[in-house]
């Protein structure tokens, strides 16, 4: 079959986001600049106030609210997410500021095809408030990591990292802004190379 006629495995993305959606925006921009050969099928958000909804809607991307408060367990939340991802034919799940811990249910459904970005140089500073953790520790180099999601939080295989120097007067906000600049570069790049790795002929 001709390469161009073949459906690219893993290029149908489903984004899970809880916040402002700047990473979602960077991924969408990389797709429209043809740096990333993929398509965002749906953005799922769990917080009705999340800015990501508006950002995605402006780009014409379908959005679905799945509010974790409506589910009695993390597993039930994941089942609802899986149903929506299936409805939109998602092949690769992209967690972009998704503030919920995933369960075995989601991992069994997608295997290694769930990626996350975390604002630290893993394995340092896992979990919440990673940037504040780094400042409190007094590290001189911070950064961000794209990794495959596993059951243990912020612990799966590392795909891409970028380092950011910590400046003398940095606050969590100022450091986060510089880390996010790097996130917006490495996340689309990591997704592109992940998709190529799944099918090296792409
Ligand atoms: C990012 O900084 C990411 O590292 C963390 O959550 C933040 C999401 O930001 N997991 P945004 O919603 O993509 O702007």
For residue 7, pLDDT over 90 is answered with no
Report which DSSP code applies to 1. -
Dist CA 44 CA 52 (whole Å): 9
Average pLDDT over residues 119-143: 98
Q: What is the pLDDT of residue 198?
A: 82
Using most ligand atoms within 8 A of CB, pick from 22, 23, 149 the residue to mutate for ligand 1: 23
Q: Quick check: bond before 123 cis, omega within 30?
A: yes
Residue range 151-193, pLDDT digits in tens: 999 999 999 999 999 999 999 999 999 999 999 999 999 999 9
Contacts of 177 (CB under 8 A, 6+ apart): none
pTM of the model: 0.94
What's the chain's average pLDDT?
94
> Which atom of ligand 1 is closest in space to residue 51's alpha carbon?
12
For residue 200, pLDDT over 70 is answered with no
Average pLDDT over residues 70-82: 97
Residue range 10-29, pLDDT digits in tens: 799 999 999 999 999 999 99
Dist CA 31 CA 144 (whole Å): 21
């Amino acid at each position: 079959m001709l390469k161009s006629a073949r459906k690219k495995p893993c290029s149908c993305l489903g984004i899970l986001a809880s916040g402002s959606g700047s990473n979602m925006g960077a991924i969408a921009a990389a797709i429209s600049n043809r740096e990333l050969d993929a398509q965002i099928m749906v953005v799922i958000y769990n917080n009705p106030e999340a800015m990501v909804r508006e950002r995605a809607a402006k780009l014409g991307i379908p959005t679905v609210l799945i509010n974790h408060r409506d589910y009695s367990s993390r597993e039930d939340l994941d089942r609802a997410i899986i149903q929506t991802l299936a409805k939109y034919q998602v092949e690769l799940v992209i967690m972009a500021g998704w503030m919920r811990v995933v369960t075995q249910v989601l991992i069994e459904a997608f295997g290694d095809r769930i990626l996350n970005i975390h604002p630290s140089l893993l394995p340092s500073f896992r979990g919440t408030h990673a940037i504040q953790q780094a400042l409190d520790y007094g590290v001189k180099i911070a950064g961000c990591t794209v990794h495959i999601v596993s059951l243990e939080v912020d612990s799966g295989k590392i795909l891409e990292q970028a380092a950011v120097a910590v400046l003398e007067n940095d606050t969590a906000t100022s450091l986060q802004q510089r880390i996010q600049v790097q996130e917006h570069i490495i996340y689309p790049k990591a997704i592109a190379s992940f998709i190529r790795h799944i099918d090296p002929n792409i």
